[in-house]
Chain A
Amino acid sequence: DAGVIQSPRHEVTEMGQEVTLRCKPISGHDYLFWYRQTMMRGLELLIYFNNNVPIDDSGMPEDRFSAKMPNASFSTLKIQPSEPRDSAVYFCASRYRSYNEQFFGPGTRLTVL
């Protein structure tokens, strides 16, 4: 298995621009999670999906953030407009049913200037 795939691995953009992060979960996994990691706040859950349906988005910081999962093999996290405080590493993770192990992708390092 290729594991969870995220793209791009690095993104540098300017304040006010739209940013789209992409994730391909492990085939067959029915849960998909988006996390954000910063020095100040550590790793925090933003949103998760089950069978492509958003279940809990209480961690999404603001309306500038949105996430979609149009099918079982693809999800996006969009920030519009981006701000410097959005600079962080964004991780996507997937899991099969309620089995305990979450598999994380390599992350996207976002820098907003």
Chain B
Amino acid sequence: DAKTTQPNSMESNEEEPVHLPCNHSTISGTDYIHWYRQLPSQGPEYVIHGLTSNVNNRMASLAIAEDRKSSTLILHRATLRDAAVYYCILRDLGGGADGLTFGKGTHLIIQP
């Protein structure tokens, strides 16, 4: 899987939007962009994924750059429950690799 680069940590205030960036300059045409998060003392949980177009779901939005070399996970109104490590992962659905390759992720801190 191609490599992603994320900031080690970010801090935000409760009830404000949060933009978590991810760079993936070596992304291939068949790589999907996935985001997972891991709350303290829990297993990772799926957040969102996309290929080319921006995506929205009940948890977050995913904004993908036109050249697909970067993306941004947007939490529209952060709560204390959103404090977690957020992982940006590329997964090639054309290559047959099924496991997820986790990097170090971004540790999101939410201030009340």
Contact = CB atoms under 8 A, between A and B. Distances in A.
Interface in B90-112: 91, 93, 97-104
Interface in A60-113: 91, 93, 95, 98, 100-107
B68 interface: no
A106 B43 contact: yes
A52 interface: no
A4 B91 CA distance: 22
A35 B100 CA distance: 9
Nearest to A50: B98
B44 A55 contact: no
A42 B44 CA distance: 12
A45 interface: yes
A45 B46 contact: no
Given A100-B49, A100-B91, A91 B43 contact: yes
B98 A91 contact: no
Interface residues of B, number: 20
A33 B99 CA distance: 7
Contacts of B32: 100
B16 interface: no
Contacts of A102: 36, 44, 46, 100
A109 to B, nearest CB: 9
Contacts of A18: none
Contacts of A104: 43-45
Given A100-B34, A100-B91, A106 B42 contact: yes
Interface of B: 32, 34, 36, 42-46, 49, 87, 91, 93, 97-104
A-B complex: 8 closest residue pairs judged by Cβ atoms: A104-B43, A45-B99, A43-B102, A101-B46, A91-B43, A104-B44, A100-B49, A107-B43
Interface of A: 4, 31, 33, 35, 42-45, 48, 50, 55-56, 59, 91, 93, 95, 98, 100-107
14 contacts: A31-B98, A42-B102, A43-B100, A45-B100, A56-B99, A91-B43, A93-B43, A98-B93, A100-B46, A100-B49, A102-B44, A102-B46, A102-B100, A106-B43
